[in-house]
Amino acid sequence: MRTYDFSPLYRNFVGFDRMANLIDAASQASANTASYPPYNVARLSEDSYRIELAVAGFSEDTLELETHENVLTISGSNATETANDDVEYLHRGIAERGFERRFQLADHVKVTAAELRNGLLTISLKRDVPEALKPRKIAIENSDQKLITPQPSGKEKAA
């Protein structure tokens, strides 16, 4: 029996917690999933999430965040395109290429903040479901209660 790791599917879907079982049943992990830049997706509470991207070498000027129709797009232009001709590299392990990473957001998930510190881009997300769309409890009335309240008779008033 084969065991599949579906964690790559969950990384790009933020706020779709209820759909996890459907994704497991209908999807397979893709071997061609892009891995640059590396990132984490964390759930901080039921309605609050955080995405962390390792973007060493990028600055606020070379990064762009955009949301459109429930898709968060993070892109970085070539951070250190300026090649130094005086330097001969023996090994180039630091990625210096541009990127574009997309995250599909659930309905009502909004970006609340973005911060770049020590080469780590942190994006805070919050699910804010309008009151009209939230589930609400309906009270069940007791059927034994009388629907018409008795009116006092005239005799009781005279007493």
Q: What is the pLDDT of residue 105?
A: 86
- Give tens-digit pLDDT for 38-90: 899 988 988 889 999 998 888 898 999 999 888 899 999 875 555 556 888 88
pTM exceeding 0.75: no
Position 121 pLDDT exceeds 90:
yes
CB < 8 Å & 24+ apart, contacts of 3-12? 4/28, 4/29, 5/29, 8/33, 10/41, 11/39, 11/41, 12/102, 12/103, 12/104
Question: Tokens representing 142?
Answer: 């007791």
108: left (phi over 0), alpha (psi -120 to 50) or beta: left
- 3-class DSSP assignment, residue 71: strand
CA trace torsion 151, 154, 155, 159 (10° rounding): 100
Position 144 pLDDT exceeds 60:
yes
Domain annotation covers residue 14 = yes
Q: What is the pLDDT of residue 32?
A: 37
Count of domains forming the chain: 1
Domain annotation covers residue 152 = no
Domain annotation covers residue 1 = no
Bigger pLDDT: 138 or 122?
122
Mean pLDDT of 141-154: 64
HEC assignment per residue over 7-26: HHHHHCEECCHHHHHHHHHH
What percent of the chain is predicted at pLDDT more than 70? 64
Average pLDDT, the chain: 75
Residue recorded with tokens 């250190």: 80
Domain annotation covers residue 110 = yes
Domain annotation covers residue 144 = no
Supply the DSSP symbol for 157.
H
Q: Which domain holds residue 70?
A: 7-82+95-131
Rounded to whole angstroms, what are the CA distances from 150 to 129, 146, 147, 153?
45, 9, 10, 9
CATH number at residue 127: 2.60.40.790
Mean pLDDT of 128-133: 76
Per-residue pLDDT band for 114 (boundaries 50, 70, 90) equals very high
Q: What is the pLDDT of residue 57?
A: 83
Residue recorded with tokens 């309240």: 149
Asked if the bond preceding 135 is cis, omega within 30° of 0, the reply is no
